[in-house]
Amino acid sequence: MRQTPNDPSMFWNYRLVKVEDRVALHEVYYNVHGDAESCTENPSILDTFPDDPHWDKGKSALESIEGLINRIQMDLLKNPNVLEWPKDFKECDPEPESRILMS
């Protein structure tokens, strides 16, 4: 899992999440106890930011996307089970949309 830049006590990784009748790849965020707390509102997409000096410095767009695919694959191999929204997320609001992070 990776630490979030704004909150070192929160971690995230890529997971498959079922929302209603769709299963898709999302970033899932965990508390310090490892409980899933929230996920991105929209499924993750493969993108890169070659003009951002903090993003994969010195790598081509293709190398950045290949690295992203490898990270996703490693995360899914470590956690192959599908999480169900909101059932598998700790302390969810009655309104699930309020616990989904904006992407």
CB neighbours of 52 closer than 8 A, spacing ≥ 6?
A: none
Secondary structure in 3-state letters for 54-88: CCCCCCCHHHHHHHHHHHHHHHHHHCCCCEEECCC
**Residue written as token pair 């979030």:** 4
pLDDT in tens, 69-98: 999 999 999 999 999 999 999 865 444 444
Residue of higher predicted confidence among 63 and 102: 63
pLDDT in tens, 26-46: 999 998 888 999 999 999 998
Angle at the Cα of 35 from the Cα atoms of 2 and 54, rounded to 5 degrees: 20
Q: Which helix (H) or strand (E) holds 22?
A: strand 22-30
CB 85 within 8 A of CB 96: yes
In angstroms, the CA 84 to CA 42 distance is 15
Backbone Cα Rg of the chain: 14
Mean pLDDT over residues 2-29, rounded? 88
The pTM of the full predicted model, rounded to 2 decimals, is 0.78
Structural domain boundaries in the chain: 2-99
In angstroms, the CA 12 to CA 78 distance is 13
